[in-house]
Structure 1
């Protein structure tokens, strides 16, 4: 395993406050005289004050603080203040129903709760706290401990109930350092906080910022597309990048230099256009348990996900991907205890079995899908992701999901649910059916095509296959 060690001997924001106190650390808009910014010295002071404010409200080491909110500067202050006093942060998706929030908090059994919205907190687990200045100003005594549990992240739960994944500063920083050994991100650069902090992808942005000591840009969601014209780095889905390139005149220079793409099929035409505008596009493979990215590459015509990053190891056992390394989580949190997720395997000790299926091809990793998504149709193993990959090659198809439905003769048959940028009508379906008949084996051809609904089918920022299957059962 290639290893890149960090050299932090104190909290990252305290280091940058000592080394570069007047550098801008956080910007709440484009860096002009009118926009609000915070230097590293101001960040360090604010975090200490908010941390003491939490202590005065009773928050102690190892206690769990749940946060229900969209991305704001207050949430960033909370996260840093929580881990500053040795407590633990867990974010919940504010778009969940009240019943779902109740269920997740009951599972977590959190000690404290903070929310920026009007909800019946008296019916939720945890004592309500506020983000406030301390009544007595003094330094919080908790020192830097890189192995200490600091964040819990609920998995997207695309195939079942979410798990609470526990990470330490070491695993977060190992994730950041490995990625940034390939993807250039300097102290003079800025990264847009474009992904939610209740998701590992959002937390990964936060820790890359802390690792490099660069500038974190926080703007409300309605202004994020506009912000892409003046930040240097962003984590996006392809449609966001496409909108930016469509809006910016060809000859107009833009600040954006590096984009980490995810969440959907990435058209080569899009990355070529971005490259012409001076933007390098990256894609890869990652998961919550490994603190985000595991492998990465500059996006190209290949459907592979690149090579394994430093601080990670990857091994294939009968096609299943096993991982470990410094970015691996401490375990799953349950009943106030952290349980290891490692299993002993004959290949050199303990590994985490991801349930993702893959292969090495020409020194590049290719992902085939999840083992628990596979179903049998007429005696043949069907991997839905294989069919989805073919559908995503069609012009106009933006997202594709294949699920099984029961069938008397075959046991199960595939059904395709797609999101399109063109009209989803009989002519489109006929075109897709003709294409699939020419492209895939008969047992892989969907027997029905449906448009992706606008119903509640999301878990976190991903479409939940479980919720999609529930919706399909009603059709």
Structure 2
């Protein structure tokens, strides 16, 4: 293998077109050719931006690549800053993650791709299929994700013998459960439905489970080759450390990235541990993630984690989706503000009832000072609420 390897962009088409990435992905896992930077083929401006920042010269340095365990993928992530970072994933890290997933779920199986494959959750579906030696299928997402097309693609996967798996974000799961009919019937047939990319509202999870869907919630990120904690329990390769009873989450194991492209000695990686930037705590043997440390709201001198507030609000009647964040306030420093998507836009739930539920379940400080009803939440990446866009909207 050449002593200096480069990073080459890999345009990944949406929907069924993503399967064209299988051949170059297999070569990258085998250490053949350059490391690959997956980019969205249908967003050339963003692809060009990421390519300029993370691909080409300089070549991978000694800390970014080794001959015996080549870097296979460089996954672009903006993290919480908006500045593109390239997560260096060795072939061994991707393999370790895929193997641990199969062991947890019940063995290698047949996979249905329903998410964009230039993100880690989507491309890991392809990696798992490659390592399982099975042929993946993909949902046609032309014009957006549709339950009828999911059902159609699922039929092809479910026709094969052996375990059947797929991975979704909460928005997709919500659409499939709400659609019912053939889409929900197909979803019930999967041996496991991995759910990640964004926090899952408890009410949605309960609806899915009550509908007979075998949901496995996942926690992880590009820096851990995707999900590494399933249903709150670490995979058999994952080590979790929390500083204090409630504090920053650190992750370690063979699935952790080498670091960031062109950022030697990045502070997030130290002594084999990755500092996630998330806050969490243990509930028995289960990890509870409370949200990003950067998203913590300090209102009147009290720390409020948005995620528990979101969970309470989504459990209330008439609420479909929620995003909670802090907005600058002259009296409180930051005010807790909730963007709420009602089930029926014409009849949103009473704001006083929503505040009272948070006050009773968490604290008076956590109760939103302001509630704004929206038709939809702005999203980024694989189904995550766009907090920056909401901060601008709610701050105004």
Q: Same fold (TM over 0.5)?
A: yes
Structure 1 residues 445-454 or 316-325, which shifts more? 445-454
Work out the CA distance in 1 between the residues paired with 2:326 and 2:190: 41
Work out the CA distance in 1 between the residues paired with 2:242 and 2:377: 37
Structure 1 residues 381-390 or 63-72, which shifts more? 63-72
Q: Is the 8 A contact 1:153 1:199 kept in 2?
A: yes
Does residue 402 (structure 1) correspond to residue 316 (structure 2)? The answer is no
Q: Which residue of 2 aligns with 1:234?
A: 166
Aligned partner of residue 294 in structure 1, secondary structure = strand
> C-alpha displacement at 1:216, in angstroms?
0.8
TM score, norm. by length of structure 1: 0.68
> C-alpha displacement at 1:265, in angstroms?
1.7
TM score, norm. by length of structure 2: 0.80
Q: Which residue of 1 aligns with 2:193?
A: 259
Instruction: Name the CA shift for 1:251/1:386 in 2 (closer, same or farther; >3 Å).
Output: closer
Does residue 282 (structure 1) correspond to residue 210 (structure 2)? The answer is no
Q: Which residue of 1 aligns with 2:161?
A: none
Q: Is the 8 A contact 1:158 1:465 kept in 2?
A: no
Instruction: Name the CA shift for 1:381/1:449 in 2 (closer, same or farther; >3 Å).
Output: same
Q: Which residue of 2 aligns with 1:23?
A: none
> C-alpha displacement at 1:280, in angstroms?
2.4
Q: Which residue of 2 aligns with 1:182?
A: 104
Q: Is the 8 A contact 2:377 2:385 kept in 1?
A: no
Structure 2 alignment gaps of length 5 or more? 58-65, 158-163
Q: Which residue of 2 aligns with 1:34?
A: none
Q: Is the 8 A contact 1:66 1:92 kept in 2?
A: yes
Aligned partner of residue 115 in structure 2, secondary structure = coil
Aligned partner of residue 117 in structure 2, secondary structure = coil
> C-alpha displacement at 1:243, in angstroms?
4.9
Q: Which residue of 2 aligns with 1:22?
A: none
Q: Which residue of 2 aligns with 1:69?
A: 13
Aligned partner of residue 289 in structure 1, secondary structure = helix
Root-mean-square deviation (CA, aligned residues, Å) is 3.1
Instruction: Name the CA shift for 1:284/1:82 in 2 (closer, same or farther; >3 Å).
Output: closer
Q: How many residue pairs end up in the alignment?
A: 363
Structure 1 alignment gaps of length 5 or more? 1-59, 112-143, 298-304
Does residue 360 (structure 1) correspond to residue 282 (structure 2)? The answer is yes
Q: Which residue of 2 aligns with 1:293?
A: 227
Q: Rg larger in 1 or in 2?
A: 1
Q: Is the 8 A contact 1:236 1:259 kept in 2?
A: yes
Q: Is the 8 A contact 1:159 1:465 kept in 2?
A: no
Q: CA-to-partner distance for each residue in 1:60-97, whole Å, 9 max, x for gaps?
A: 94342242532413233343355653211112245658
Structure 1 residues 145-154 or 312-321, which shifts more? 145-154
Instruction: Name the CA shift for 1:324/1:268 in 2 (closer, same or farther; >3 Å).
Output: closer
